[in-house]
Structure 1
Amino acid sequence: MPAEPPIPEPKSLHFIEEIVEADLASGKHGGRVLTRFPPEPNGYLHIGHAKSICLNFGLAAKYGGATNLRFDDTNPVKEDVEYVDSIREDVRWLGFGWKGEHYASDYFQFLYDYAEYLVQQGKAYVCDLSEAEIREYRGNFHVPGKASPYRDRAPEENLDLFRRMKAGEFPDGSKVLRAKIDMASGNMNLRDPLMYRIRRAHHHRTGDAWLIYPMYDYAHGVSDAIETITHSICTLEFEDHRPLYDWFLEQDVEGRFFQRPLPRQIEFARLNLTYTVMSKRRLLLLVQEGHVKAWDDPRMPTISGLRRRGYTPESVRAFAERVGVAKRDTVIDVGLLEFAIREDLERKAPRAMAVLRPLRLVIENMAEGEVHWLTLPNHPDDPAFGTRQVPFAREVLIERDDFREEAPKKWFRLAPGAEVRLKGACLVRCTEVVRDAAGEVVELRCTWDPASLGGDAPDGRKVKGTLHWVSAAHAVPAEVRLYDRLFTAEDPMDVPEGGDWRDTLNPDSLEVLAGARVEPSLAEVAPGTRVQFERLGYFCADPDGRPGAPVFNRTVGLKDSWAKLEAKG
């Protein structure tokens, strides 16, 4: 396991807080702070959205304000109620509540009316160019755009055509409404951007009432202004869109549509993680192509995937806080996220014993049928977790990796002739190794010191090795899913020319162990229960399990000192 990444010291006040405090001091918005979280319901939220959620809701809460949850549902082709429901669940799971639940579709009539106003003011026009022609006319960063031949249509003609677009007189793609700004602008977003397109598609809320739909850049700022958002916080890729955001709102020169002061868009660096892709389009491809089982696959960086893997909302919020709010994009080591959940579960997760790859150990000098019920703490550092009863008998199962017939230096686990402690039970010494016909080790014969019942030597002798175990007769069969990083490359998008980002998918990102055994206390564990398997890591009970046959997902491993020693050679 890689070394823990350094934890950056959180700043006392980040730059967005400075802006908000300055606005409060000046009375700009009458002492109000109202932010919004505006997801598009076209996929599941991921860890990057979690950072944005924490920022928007956390900032408003800090200054006594509120946050709106607004679904920017302007593209019915890609949107679904499933995504709306999942977004609500994710925000609530993170521990936040919203002032109002809104949709861009709530404002379709307002957006249309304001678009008509812009047409009447000569600030928007209907264009008949095709999508490819619009792209060609727009030019590029080195070539200025050229005006559409339809740019100088009279406002009256544009208004008539726009109303006929709404009425369904024209086929999809035949006409669009464009803002009339500046085709020579160095900012490509100001080169007469699209405001509306014709799209005959069923909308999940408005049905077939609308045949034209607003573009995101137009609907977003107007929706903010309708809701009187004070600080519209978005990620850095929208920085070049800010002049367009402002332009649309500032055209209401008479103040007929929007309350003053207008919202202010503020950009911050998006979250980028190593060994992860954050594009919803690519995440959707992973699902559609079967590389993962679903959006909530524990290998996915989605909030639902993290939840199913066993992450806690507190750990995600702590991670977002440690990452901080920056003005420049950076790539964060995914190890910092793993550190956050390990730190949280160290305090919260009860302990239990599980054996993932069982090897039978028989204590020859213990009587058949002899069973000792041991009282073990559920947490070594917190008595409030209480205790549990664990059966200990003649035959136990240990981890196959805890035995080596030829032990290397500094090997403190079990080997022929070696003595180890079975955690909380006793001391045992290996006396014989039993193999099957193929020569594989299938059983260890050992002796125990009855006086060591409880785990310690009565004569005070030191035994360095301590192993976890389960009673063979009492153990509960379980399936354990060992999840690893989904990609083998720190930057999955950094592939050779002609390569594909999917070439970096990790073929070993999931290992399913069907023959694992857990102690009896976990027989009827509830889905979502988080537990530390002693010496193995943190695990979470999966909904696929059932009473008597639980399924556990590995959330994150423990730091393995022996693995580090082996890596050093």
Structure 2
Amino acid sequence: MEKPNNFLTEIIDADLAEGRVKEIHTRFPPEPNGYLHIGSAKAIWINWGIANAYGGKFNLRYDDTNPVREDDEYVKSIEEDLRWLGAVPNGGIYYGSDYFEKCYEYAEQLIKEGKAYVCDLTREQMQEYRGTLTEPGKPSPWRDRSVEENLDLFRRMRAGEFPDGSRTLRAKIDMASPNMNMRDPAIYRIVRAHHHRQGDAWCIYPLYDFAHPIQDAIEGITHSMCSLEFENHRPLYEWVINNLHLGPFPIQREFARLNVSNTVMSKRYLRELVEKEIVDGWDDPRMPTLCGLRRRGYTPSSIFEFVKKAGVSKVYSLVDYRLLEYCIRTELETTALRRMAVTEPIKLTITNYPEGKVEYFDIPNNPNKAANDSSTRKVAFSGSLYIEKSDFAEVPPPKFQRLKPDGEVRLMGAYIVKCNEVIKDENGEVVELRCTADLETGNGNPVDGRKVKGTIHWVSAAHAVDAEVRLYDKLFTQENMGELPEGSDYKDFLNPDSVKVLKGAKLEASLADAKPGEKFQFVRMGYFTPDSKNPGVFGRIVTLKDSFSKTLEQK
């Protein structure tokens, strides 16, 4: 991978140049309490990408220090997503819970050095004692317990003698610090919950701010790069490293999170969407999860290109979802095979075509010059076809260049046809068009004086594959889901048209064996892929129409 150029790599370049570090070692530390999403892709791209660019090591470490919502389902999904992205953890796969014993030893070390104490304040009392942004905190009544008493109480906490939440172990730092994270933060709490990996071996668990720097140090991480929300936690990260004598590396540096329009990335919200069955799972193609994007048809390269174009900085920004669509559309323009599919079919009968006759026309697989693909496929043609409902208008609007009564169009790669008769059902709906073909114009052959402006796609009725087509759109109507009107709920902005289901679609025969993961351009309709959970269903990845490239050009 080419080395990114941003403020993080400038820091790393300086550390290497001055000899402070010899090999770059990074990590990605997700909590296994949900599935990874597009925001996670930025953290992966930064940490894995930098390690890869510098020839260093990259670790996957599960931050499983909170047993309440963690599950093996999420553990497996996270590794699957990383490997799908190509971000192989060449430095190893680890679990924060594997370091519980070491974290406990370090906690006792702090107690012995008078730098940590057991506190009996409740959570609510601790908040009250903590102070405000303008007022210093008050010391806990138990701040000056002796080393011996603290050791005894902490060991009894581990032994399970006290109720959940009744005591914490706190770092003794500075209750008057302007940084509230440094006002004697809790570093251990009592929680009786079955751990997905440790079972019931522990009833006390280290908090992230204490465990994370220890884990980084044990694994030899040089640069701990995390999102900007941890910037105010960096002094505590450094306090742990320095007071446990684990330095000078790792160091922590922060970058702005990836915020994308018309979506939410809170795991709590995403979990609620799944649990309330508003979507059909974590991998619903409308979800911003990586497994949802994979099922939708996005590729690792398009996702990383999106992250790259969104940029790395320390400034909050909201990235337009259309940029992600632009990235996959740009890729598929040159890689996706073209296929003919009629999503809302009406029948077209060629009355002067010999009954029972079948021809096979050579249709290009990808006529895009940039694709450099001159291959073709043979597509069956007969006298009974399906065309798109929107390609016919009984009363055409101005400049309509598709089929109309007494009008002519070319059937893509085949004959020019003229509409002679319109057949309707008892409700007045058009159900069949009866046409005649100029049989001298087959396979797109030009005939003097027989040029027509309109070209439409088609599928032979006898050879058609039945399918269901799903047209996906944004999941939310509000652009910035991080700034909702007062009193509103994120579910108030669910898009009722986020998916449109079209049953009874007719596809050309070559799509009968299409497999999930394969991408196709349905001619004039968009880019589609077979659904991985529902056989016979094709989901739209992205439309053909690009409304974003002009926005990029203007920047």
Q: TM-score range by the shorter chain?
A: over 0.9
- Please tell me whether the aligned partners of residues 436 and 442 of structure 1 are also in contact (alpha carbons under 8 angstroms): yes
- Please tell me whether the aligned partners of residues 350 and 385 of structure 1 are also in contact (alpha carbons under 8 angstroms): no
Counterpart position of 2:266: 279
Q: CA deviation at 1:545?
A: 4.1
- Please tell me whether the aligned partners of residues 427 and 456 of structure 1 are also in contact (alpha carbons under 8 angstroms): no
- The answer as to 2:52 corresponding to 1:61 is yes
Counterpart position of 2:80: 89
2:282 to 283, 291, 295: 295
Counterpart position of 1:4: none
- Map 1:149-164; keep pairs closer than 5 Å: 149-164=141-156
- Please tell me whether the aligned partners of residues 4 and 50 of structure 2 are also in contact (alpha carbons under 8 angstroms): no
Counterpart position of 2:139: 147
Whole-angstrom distance in 1 between the partners of 2:192 and 2:374? 59
- Please tell me whether the aligned partners of residues 171 and 187 of structure 2 are also in contact (alpha carbons under 8 angstroms): yes
- The answer as to 2:171 corresponding to 1:179 is yes
Compared with structure 1, are the counterparts of its residues 560 and 415 closer, same or farther at alpha carbon in structure 2 (3 Å cutoff)? farther
Q: Secondary structure of 1:125's partner?
A: strand
Whole-angstrom distance in 2 between the partners of 1:286 and 1:451? 57
Q: CA deviation at 1:167?
A: 0.6
1:363 to 350, 359, 365: 350
- Please tell me whether the aligned partners of residues 35 and 66 of structure 1 are also in contact (alpha carbons under 8 angstroms): yes
Counterpart position of 1:406: 395
- The answer as to 2:191 corresponding to 1:202 is no
Structure 1 alignment gaps of length 5 or more: 1-9, 562-569
- The answer as to 2:320 corresponding to 1:333 is yes
Q: CA deviation at 1:184?
A: 1.5
Counterpart position of 1:447: 436
- Please tell me whether the aligned partners of residues 24 and 222 of structure 2 are also in contact (alpha carbons under 8 angstroms): yes
- Map 1:93-242; keep pairs closer than 5 Å: 93-98=84-89, 99-242=91-234
- Please tell me whether the aligned partners of residues 407 and 419 of structure 2 are also in contact (alpha carbons under 8 angstroms): yes
Counterpart position of 1:538: 527
- Map 1:321-470; keep pairs closer than 5 Å: 321-381=308-368, 382=371, 384=373, 386-459=375-448, 461-470=450-459
Whole-angstrom distance in 1 between the partners of 2:451 and 2:184? 79
Aligned length: 544
Whole-angstrom distance in 1 between the partners of 2:391 and 2:303? 33
- Please tell me whether the aligned partners of residues 363 and 448 of structure 1 are also in contact (alpha carbons under 8 angstroms): yes
Compared with structure 1, are the counterparts of its residues 248 and 12 closer, same or farther at alpha carbon in structure 2 (3 Å cutoff)? closer
Compared with structure 1, are the counterparts of its residues 336 and 17 closer, same or farther at alpha carbon in structure 2 (3 Å cutoff)? same
1:13 to 5, 26, 46: 5
Whole-angstrom distance in 1 between the partners of 2:4 and 2:231? 25
Q: Secondary structure of 2:474's partner?
A: coil
Deviations 1:30-60 (A, max 9, x none): x110000110101000001011111111111
Counterpart position of 1:23: 15
Tell me which amino acid in the other structure corresponds to 1:32.
E
Q: Secondary structure of 1:462's partner?
A: coil
- The answer as to 2:478 corresponding to 1:492 is no
Counterpart position of 1:512: 501
Q: CA RMSD in A?
A: 1.6
- Percent identity between matched residues is 59
Counterpart position of 1:566: none
Q: Which runs of at least 4 in structure 1 moved beyond 4 Å after TM superposition?
A: 382-385
Deviations 1:490-545 (A, max 9, x none): 01343332211110000111111121111111112112211111111111111234
Q: Secondary structure of 2:443's partner?
A: coil
Q: CA deviation at 1:351?
A: 0.9
Deviations 1:400-434 (A, max 9, x none): 11111111122111111221111111111111211
- Please tell me whether the aligned partners of residues 340 and 508 of structure 2 are also in contact (alpha carbons under 8 angstroms): yes
1:43 to 30, 34, 39: 34
Q: Secondary structure of 1:57's partner?
A: helix
Q: CA deviation at 1:11?
A: 11
Whole-angstrom distance in 2 between the partners of 1:545 and 1:389? 28
Q: CA deviation at 1:560?
A: 7.4
Whole-angstrom distance in 1 between the partners of 2:173 and 2:27? 27
Counterpart position of 2:550: none
Whole-angstrom distance in 2 between the partners of 1:104 and 1:215? 11
Whole-angstrom distance in 2 between the partners of 1:344 and 1:482? 20
Q: Secondary structure of 2:283's partner?
A: coil
Tell me which amino acid in the other structure corresponds to 2:130.
R
Q: Secondary structure of 1:345's partner?
A: helix
Q: CA deviation at 1:387?
A: 2.5
- The answer as to 2:471 corresponding to 1:482 is yes
- Please tell me whether the aligned partners of residues 111 and 117 of structure 2 are also in contact (alpha carbons under 8 angstroms): yes
Whole-angstrom distance in 2 between the partners of 1:223 and 1:416? 73
Q: CA deviation at 1:358?
A: 0.4
Q: Secondary structure of 1:523's partner?
A: helix
Q: CA deviation at 1:12?
A: 6.9
- Please tell me whether the aligned partners of residues 3 and 54 of structure 2 are also in contact (alpha carbons under 8 angstroms): no
Deviations 1:227-275 (A, max 9, x none): 11111000111110101110111112xx4xx2x4221101011100010
Tell me which amino acid in the other structure corresponds to 1:314.
S
Counterpart position of 2:551: none
Q: CA deviation at 1:460?
A: 5.2
Q: Please, which moves more after superposition, 399-408 or 109-118? A: 399-408
Deviations 1:420-461 (A, max 9, x none): 111111111111211111111111111110011012431154
Whole-angstrom distance in 2 between the partners of 1:287 and 1:14? 36
Q: Please, which moves more after superposition, 408-417 or 103-112? A: 408-417
Whole-angstrom distance in 2 between the partners of 1:560 and 1:331? 20
Structure 2 alignment gaps of length 5 or more: 548-555
Deviations 1:369-418 (A, max 9, x none): 12111122221144657332211111111111111111112211111122
Q: Secondary structure of 2:463's partner?
A: coil
